[in-house]
């Protein structure tokens, strides 16, 4: 087993969270599934979470559908492999039930039109709920390792910042101004808040403002629970048992995205644990004997083709060399370009054999 394979095996046997990040189209979903599969083959209880609405993860694992709760994938391995696809609103609804003081309070929020829009359309909601689902799975104690397949790179940065943004929102003066009337009486509200509500009514309509006030009335007392949970998620993302894996291909645009993400992680004082370069052209050796017909003979043509393929492989290696040096001492894993896309469990196992030895 190579040194890279040993170090990658250590990731799936020793870490409790693995966050796979990268640009779109580099096979990040597949790599996430490969890591979870490798953990199950090592005897661990693994769960892979995708926030990608496409069916690629379900297809590659050979299951019909994925829900917002873990679905076990059957296979011949000593551990357990589960997968789920994030349901943003379903996860948000679960949080409302968790932090509501009474069933009536929860129902009031869930039925509110403003909440229904927030839960499905507010920027950053999906990212925060992905981190909430991650935290929920870790705290459940049902899994030894949770692997997260994130959105494309810049959205993944939103995902990492989501808990902090939620905390800032809860501490925002406008939020507190809207929450304050529910704690006293709209008649006792200060002039500034009354002016704010009148302005909002003129711009957005009185009905929307009424929905907003009703929402904040229902939300009263729950903000502390959300704030505490956001802090727990931040701690989890910064915990030494959480590993960040950069996934890229040898395409220049993918390398640029991965480099950007590595720099942003460095700003957060987070070092990537691994760099996985996917779909690499393999290298081929020279023909075993010289061409009997000279350079124009059949072996000569084969040798020319092999030289062309090897040149492509060398160019690819050079394209990610600088990135590999930048993320040192992260281990670099390489997955070759297979004859066909990895789209089933057998393909995942072949890729895992290559990556993890």
The tens digit of pLDDT for each residue in 282-314 reads 777 655 455 555 555 566 666 667 777 677 777
Better pLDDT: 154 or 238:
238
- Identify the pLDDT of residue 334: 92
pLDDT surpasses 90 at 44: yes
CA–CA dist 355, 34 (Å, integer): 9
pLDDT one-digit tens code per residue, 88-142: 888 889 988 988 889 998 998 898 887 887 776 665 677 778 888 888 999 999 9
Better pLDDT: 216 or 246:
246
- Identify the pLDDT of residue 286: 58
**Pick from 48-62, 87-101, 191-205, 252-266: least confident:** 191-205
Q: Please report the DSSP string for 166-200 in residue order.
A: HHHHHT-HHHHHHHHHHHS-GGG--HHHHHHHHHH
- Identify the pLDDT of residue 204: 45
Better pLDDT: 246 or 153:
246
pLDDT band at 72 (very low <50, low <70, confident <90, very high): very high
pLDDT surpasses 80 at 73: yes
DSSP-assigned letter for residue 294: G
- Identify the pLDDT of residue 303: 67
CB-neighbour burial class of residue 273 (10 A; exposed 0-12, middle 13-18, buried 19+): buried
Whole-prediction pTM: 0.80
- Identify the pLDDT of residue 184: 44
pLDDT one-digit tens code per residue, 170-196: 555 555 555 544 444 444 445 555 555
- Identify the pLDDT of residue 38: 97
Mean pLDDT value across residues 240-249: 94
pLDDT band at 80 (very low <50, low <70, confident <90, very high): very high
pLDDT one-digit tens code per residue, 147-159: 998 876 566 667 6
Task: Name the H helices within the chain.
Answer: 3-14, 28-41, 56-61, 88-99, 103-110, 113-121, 125-140, 153-170, 173-183, 191-204, 206-219, 223-238, 252-267, 298-326, 345-356
- Identify the pLDDT of residue 335: 92
pLDDT surpasses 60 at 280: yes
pLDDT surpasses 60 at 266: yes
Better pLDDT: 140 or 1:
140
pLDDT band at 227 (very low <50, low <70, confident <90, very high): confident
Average pLDDT, the chain: 80
């Amino acid at each position: 087993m190579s040194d890279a394979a040993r170090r990658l095996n250590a990731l799936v046997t020793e870490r409790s969270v693995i966050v796979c990040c990268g640009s779109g189209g580099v096979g990040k979903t597949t790599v996430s599934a490969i890591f979870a599969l490798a953990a199950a083959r090592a005897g661990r209880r693994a769960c892979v979470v995708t926030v990608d609405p496409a069916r690629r993860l379900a297809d590659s694992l050979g299951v019909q559908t994925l829900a917002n709760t873990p679905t076990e994938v059957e296979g011949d391995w000593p551990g357990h492999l589960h997968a789920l696809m994030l349901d943003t609103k379903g996860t948000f609804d679960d949080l409302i039930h968790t932090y509501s003081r009474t069933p009536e309070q929860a129902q009031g929020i869930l039925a509110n039109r403003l909440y229904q829009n927030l839960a499905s359309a507010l920027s950053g909601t999906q990212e925060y709920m992905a981190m909430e689902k991650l935290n929920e799975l870790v705290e459940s104690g049902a899994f030894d390792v949770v692997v997260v397949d994130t959105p494309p790179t810049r959205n993944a940065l939103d995902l990492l910042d989501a808990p902090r943004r939620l905390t800032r929102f809860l501490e925002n003066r406008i939020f507190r101004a809207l929450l304050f009337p529910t704690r006293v009486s709209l008649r006792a509200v200060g002039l500034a808040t009354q002016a704010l509500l009148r302005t909002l009514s003129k711009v957005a309509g009185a009905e929307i403002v009424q929905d907003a006030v009703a929402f904040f009335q229902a939300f009263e007392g729950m903000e502390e629970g959300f704030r505490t949970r956001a802090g727990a998620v931040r701690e989890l993302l910064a915990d030494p048992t959480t590993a960040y894996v950069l996934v890229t291909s040898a395409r220049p645009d993918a390398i640029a995205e991965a480099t950007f993400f590595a720099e942003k992680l460095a700003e957060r004082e987070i070092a990537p644990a691994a760099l996985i370069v996917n779909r690499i052209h393999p290298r081929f050796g020279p023909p075993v004997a010289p061409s009997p017909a000279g350079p124009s003979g059949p072996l000569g043509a084969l040798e020319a083709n092999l030289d062309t393929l090897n040149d492509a492989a060398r160019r690819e290696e050079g394209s990610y060399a600088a990135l590999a040096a930048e993320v040192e001492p992260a281990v670099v894993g390489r997955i070759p370009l297979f004859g066909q896309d990895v789209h089933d469990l057998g393909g995942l196992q072949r890729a895992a054999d290559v990556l993890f030895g």
